[in-house]
Amino acid sequence: MSKEFWIGVGALGIALLLAKPAKKLAVGLVGTAMILADKGKELAINVKEEVEDIIAEAQYQHTQSKIKTQPETADNPS
């Protein structure tokens, strides 16, 4: 058998030996990525809610200031 054949067998053997640790590492990395994705989604939801609250409060204040600055009419004396 040729030298190349034995190099191939050796490479295959090394790959098989490293397959389980590599798989464990890959599973761990994917799991960590999933955790980070969940945290990112949670952060995005919180930011969205805060922005919605700010917009609602600004709209309320804007409406209140318009009501205060409206001229009085004969039907609405103060």
Q: What is the pLDDT of residues 11-34, one digit of tens each?
A: 877 777 778 887 888 888 899 999
Threshold 0.75, pTM exceeds: no
Residue 4: is its pLDDT beyond 90? no
Task: Give 72's contacts (C-beta < 8 A, 6+ positions apart).
Answer: 78
pLDDT band of 74, cuts 50, 70, 90: low
